[in-house]
Structure 1
């Protein structure tokens, strides 16, 4: 199966998806969240991308992948049939908007600061209210902090990419970032720094990141993907993919 990958800037969601329907079984949406999903040499790759691609192959489904800003991807997938999104954390704010196919991996989200920032002291979430926190727009960590009374453009600094928030952390333009340790490590290297220069100051939550469809999607696709993932897990294929990123 040939999986085509393109980065799409679009004005009409409906016209794009209607044109795709005849050529592919499903449309797949993701965002840059390296090392889980990212573009390298013009190709979409990453831990979760490799898993989802393997699952689609095993299920015998043709698909077209798109990179969207994460908030747009979530809204689009929730509104369209047979549009798969990953890696989507299963949180209560999203629970009723999606068909949760299967978890792809488990992700920890924590607050990080620079080690040299000895002026920042955090022992509870309330302590974090005194500081600026970089988050990915629409992501689970963004929703989590909003649900605990943090406010956009006050404590929260909203970014369209994790790399930007990590970069500004190292430039001391923001005090903290809320993210996954693998993401922080990867993006720190990309902007010329090291994860060893950061310090985890507070664990926020741990959650499973899923493949999910919008409501009204074909049940046959859901079942085929579930069975394909089960087979790949039992064969050890999923563990082999995960080992590449450890």
Structure 2
């Protein structure tokens, strides 16, 4: 039996501003996870190069900052397990940006969304006897 459900749009950025006042980009804590090909730490050994955050979503984030005339230091981005980043993104006393994550009906009102970057579909398979 196949149960299909759609992850509406994984997004580049999820801007969390619980208070309606604007927040300076300089004060944002940027959080992501290891989720290739969207965002991941490149672990290949390159002569003289430090391992760096890379991926489709990272490239879009860099270009977004560049277009806005802002500086982005990839070393300032926190790479955390997804559940911890998602939890921190919902804390009212913090100004966090979480990227990239799936936009679902349940999450719609929790965040201020920017994107999308891609559409994604997920299917779950199980044996009929397992219901």
Q: For the superposition of Structure 1 and Structure 2, which TM-score range results when normalised by the shorter chain?
A: 0.5 to 0.7
In terms of fraction of residues, the more helix-rich structure is 1
The Cα offsets for residues 71-109 of structure 1, whole Å up to 9 and x where unpaired, read as: 110111121543211111111221221011221222232
- Supply the distance in 1 between the matched residues of 2:65 and 2:119 (Cα, whole angstroms): 20
- Supply the distance in 2 between the matched residues of 1:83 and 1:26 (Cα, whole angstroms): 5
Go from structure 1 to structure 2 and tell me whether the alpha carbon gap of 1:128 and 1:107 turns closer, same or farther (over 3 Å shift).
farther
Go from structure 1 to structure 2 and tell me whether the alpha carbon gap of 1:88 and 1:22 turns closer, same or farther (over 3 Å shift).
closer
Higher relative contact order (CA 8 A, sep 6+): 2
Q: Answer yes or no: is 1:50 the counterpart of 2:63.
A: no
TM-score under structure 1 length normalisation: 0.35
Who is 1:110 aligned against? 123
Query: 1:28-43, aligned counterparts within 5 Å?
Result: 28-41=30-43, 42-43=51-52
SS at match of 1:36: coil
Go from structure 1 to structure 2 and tell me whether the alpha carbon gap of 1:83 and 1:43 turns closer, same or farther (over 3 Å shift).
same
Go from structure 1 to structure 2 and tell me whether the alpha carbon gap of 1:129 and 1:73 turns closer, same or farther (over 3 Å shift).
farther
The Cα offsets for residues 104-145 of structure 1, whole Å up to 9 and x where unpaired, read as: 22223235xxxxxxxxxxxxx563773xxxxxxxxxxxxxxx
- Supply the distance in 1 between the matched residues of 2:39 and 2:128 (Cα, whole angstroms): 29
Query: Which residue among 71, 86, 109 is the counterpart of 2:83?
Result: 71
Query: Which residue among 63, 68, 72 is the counterpart of 1:59?
Result: 68
The Cα offsets for residues 34-66 of structure 1, whole Å up to 9 and x where unpaired, read as: 111110142000111111121122122344311
Aligned residue pairs total 98
Find the structure with the greater CA-based Rg.
Answer: 1
- What is the root-mean-square deviation of aligned Cα atoms in Å? 2.9
Structure 1, unmatched stretches of 5+, are: 1-20, 112-124, 131-149, 151-246
Q: Answer yes or no: is 1:89 the counterpart of 2:102.
A: yes
- Supply the distance in 1 between the matched residues of 2:71 and 2:90 (Cα, whole angstroms): 20
Structure 2, unmatched stretches of 5+, are: 1-22, 44-50
- Supply the distance in 1 between the matched residues of 2:128 and 2:57 (Cα, whole angstroms): 30
